[in-house]
Amino acid sequence: MRFYDMAEIVGRITYKPGWTILIDHDRMDQGGRAYIQVVVDESAEASLCPFTGERKQWKGGKRYLSYHMCKQEVVGACLGAIKDAEMHELHEWFKYRGKSIYSPHLDPDALHELARFSKNYDVRDNAMTPE
């Protein structure tokens, strides 16, 4: 499949207002790999930052496409990118006692420190049984 074909497929996909799928490719000296990204503009509800309260455009992570993909795989990659973006938002906005404890922006090294101590684990005594 050519980049043009992929762009035509991606161009037929719609989601919520303010959400689009960008398709681009790396520079040729970097291999010219095609990729997609979810783009959320300021008009979308999801543009509201849970930390600052400001509306900002943002992009999801890149998903690389193969020129050997079929049409359904390209469409499925777009659906997966949207799911990942929505889950990212869910994890940012979900709060326990006012804190975003599942935030994808938490420092993994800080979480590592927290996980070092058994006192930080909340596990039932019979957690490994069907009781």
Structural domain boundaries, residue 62: 3-94
Query: CA–CA separation, 49 vs 12, rounded Å?
Result: 28
Is 107 among the domain residues? Answer: no
In a domain, 131, yes or no: no
Residue 75: exposure state from Cβ atoms within 10 A (0-12, 13-18, ≥19): middle
Q: Please count the structural domains in the chain.
A: 1
CA distance 58 to 39: 6
Amino acid in position 31: G
pLDDT value for 93: 93
DSSP string of 19-68, one letter each residue: EEEEEEE--GGGT--EEEEEEE-TTSGGGB-TTT--B--EE---EEE-TT
Consecutive sets of 10 residues in the chain, 131 residues long: mean pLDDT of each? 95 97 85 93 92 92 95 98 96 94 94 88 74 63
For residue 104, is it within any domain? no
